[in-house]
Structure formats: C-alpha cells, structure tokens
Amino acid sequence: MTFAVSTLLSEETIRDRVRALGEQIRADYEGKNMLLVCVLKGSFVFAADLARAIDLPLKIDFLGTRSYGDGTESSGVVQITYDLARPIADVHVLLVEDIVDSGLTIAHLLQLLRTRNPASLKVCSLLHKPSRAKIEVPIDYLGFSIEDRFVVGYGLDHAETYRNLPFIGVLSA
C-alpha cells in the first residue's frame, strides 16, 4: 500500500518553535549540570535540533522504548529497548520526547528515572495529543498541541518509514 503525506507542521514552523524552546530551556538551566535524554527512536531529529538550540554546555544520552508495533494504536505496554549509558544521580535531566499520546510511555519513564535520584526531572515534548490522554503527565516544555491524527516525519514513523521527512505530516491512505 502507498500513502500520501500532507503537511501539518512545516519545516519553518518547527524550526521557529524549536528555537524558542531552546531559549526558554537555556534560561531555566543556566549554571546547572544538564543532561538531555533523547527517547529513541522518534525524538532523534527533535533532540538533535533542540540540543543545538540550547546555548549551554549540556550532555546527551539515549533511552530506547517501544510502545507501538507496526500499527497506529498503542499496545499500552512500554518496553525499554536501550538504557542510559551513565548514572543520573544529582544531574538535571530533561527527557526529550517526540509525542505524548496516551501518556503511558512518559509516565513509565518518569517513574523509572525518579528511582535513580536525578537533581531534577522534566519533560520536553515536541507534540501532544490532549484528546488521547489516558494518564495525566506533566509536560514542562511543549512544541505543539495537535488533534487526534496519526502523524509522521521529523523522526516519527509509520512502520519504520517516514522518519526522515523534514516536516510533520499526516498520512492519508
């Protein structure tokens, strides 16, 4: 089956928002030992752009999760596929997510990372689908709230494809 992709958020729209988020985060984390945690795979593009928009000497680590199969519905089960390389005790951790949908993934990750005693733990998500929330999660820095559409591009996939699209789009069959 082939899909057409229509643009929801253009490259320019995303770039402007990421720049603003970077400035806000820089102001909040100035003077702190900061770690950006990129939640793989979906946030790899956002995290790369966000890291370059934060004018601070920060560190970056990666955490792999899987909550979807090849379909578009959450399985509700969050699996850690790749863990952080270093301890995070006394570190100011900012989790970078591509999208908060049901909230199950981020709730699970917050619970997991809190047990490792970071100095602080906050969430930055590029996208949020408020109508899909199954659990309330704090999003300290948010790019865009979107409607309940399955989106791809800018790191987000459908069956592992479309991650390299430079914009965020909606699949139409």
State how far the Cα of 101 lies from the Cα of 83, in Å rounded to an integer: 22
Pick the piece of the chain touching ligand 5GP (CB under 6 A) from 1-9, 18-26, 87-95, 102-110: 102-110
State how far the Cα of 133 lies from the Cα of 50, in Å rounded to an integer: 25
Show the beta-strand stretches assigned E in 41-140.
Answer: 59-68, 74-82, 92-100, 120-128
List 49, 83, 101, 148, catalytic entry? 101
97 touching ligand 5GP, by CB under 6 A: yes
Determine the residue type at 31: G
> What phi and psi values does residue 161 have, to the nearest 5 degrees?
-105, 165
Pick the piece of the chain touching ligand 5GP (CB under 6 A) from 15-23, 51-59, 95-103, 111-119: 95-103
Q: Do the bridges between strand 151-152 and strand 168-172 make them parallel or antiparallel, or are there none, so unpaired? A: antiparallel
9 touching ligand 5GP, by CB under 6 A: no
101 catalytic? Reply is yes
24 touching ligand 5GP, by CB under 6 A: no
> What phi and psi values does residue 106 have, to the nearest 5 degrees?
-70, -35
Scanning the structure block, which residue is given the tokens 């004018």?
Answer: 55
74 touching ligand 5GP, by CB under 6 A: yes
Q: Residue 31 Cβ, how far from ligand 5GP at the closest point, in Å?
A: 30
Pick the piece of the chain touching ligand 5GP (CB under 6 A) from 6-14, 83-91, 93-101, 112-120: 93-101
Residues lying near ligand 5GP in the complex (CB under 6 A) are found at: 42, 67-68, 74, 97-105, 150-152, 156-158
